[in-house]
Amino acid sequence: MTKDRNLPGPDSDFIATFGTGEPHTLFGHGFAGAIRDTRPFGTGITGTKHFLHLPGHGGRDSPGPGWNYGQIAEALARALASTSATRALGVSMSAGGLLRLLSTTHPAAQTLEKVALVLPASFTGFSAEVAEANRAHLEKLRGLVAAADVESITDLMLSREPAEVAELLPARAWTKTKAENLVNTDMSDGLGLALEIAVDASVSADPMGALARFPGEVLVLTHEDDPAHPVEVAEAIAAAIPESRLEVLPAGSILWRGRHEVRRIIGEFFG
């Protein structure tokens, strides 16, 4: 039987590698995501591409209840070191982990030359409105996961998407797979990450200064009308990193309605 290269095991530290040569780029998925979700972001990017399954995903054990961005950052740091990557792309949860690395001047981040933050979900905090919306959504989701109600979890997740996206059959199938993983694996340990802060002043003496001094290039890519990934978060990140490039696309663009534009932007950034 041919091994599924999208499901790497512990022998490769849960990293799937494609391509050859320089440069080396690491790709990290979002919460309840997978390598299959991040591979399209690598389309057209030259060199060696490394795709990571974070703990609690892709058959990799959860670190236990109560995930935080420090744990995500350390998993990314180990992958950066083992792959010798000089470039990285993080989606949502992984974007937060990369921000934690950059803001703490982690040794693993010192070799990074280019960083793409796609749909960043967390930065230094949330407005009261966003925090309350996240909390209410999380409570509903936890209840449905406890009841193992896959269909209702799918509906709840899709309720945060534009109607045109929610009605797409591929979008529903993809979301249902995420719902099944939440019910059938230990991934649900990480549900509370939606309320966690990526860049925490209590962890580093000068996190904002560290971000401002990062010498590499940074792309911040998001889209409008996504409650899980507020544009205000992406704007705050871009403002904190003077040389960064901010791209805000129409609603539903990143995964579904604007794939060609997303690939163009990422391809131009990584060169």
SS3 64: coil
Give the chain's residues under pLDDT 70.
Answer: 1-2
Give the span between the Cα atoms of 57 and 260, in whole angstroms. 27
> Residue 61 has what pLDDT?
95
Q: What are phi and psi of 74, to 5 degrees?
A: -65, -40
- The residues near 204 (Cβ < 8 Å, ≥ 6 apart) are 103, 104, 105, 210
Whether residue 219 contacts residue 115, with contact meaning beta carbons closer than 8 Å, is answered with: yes
Nearest CA among 33, 115, 109 for reference residue 77: 109
Q: Looking at the DSSP assignment, which residues form a beta bridge with residue 247? A: 221
> Residue 1 has what pLDDT?
52
> Residue 205 has what pLDDT?
87
pLDDT, one tens digit per residue, over 57-80 is 999 999 999 999 999 999 999 999
- Tell me yes or no: is domain 10-125+196-270 CATH 3.40.50.1820: yes
- The residues near 128 (Cβ < 8 Å, ≥ 6 apart) are none
Q: What value, to the nearest 5°, has the Cα angle with vertex 113 and ends 109 and 114?
A: 100
Q: How many residues would you count in the chain?
A: 271
> Residue 2 has what pLDDT?
58
Domain boundaries, the chain: 10-125+196-270, 128-192
Give the span between the Cα atoms of 31 and 93, in whole angstroms. 6
State the residue for tokens 């993809």.
Answer: 174
> Which pTM value belongs to this model?
0.96
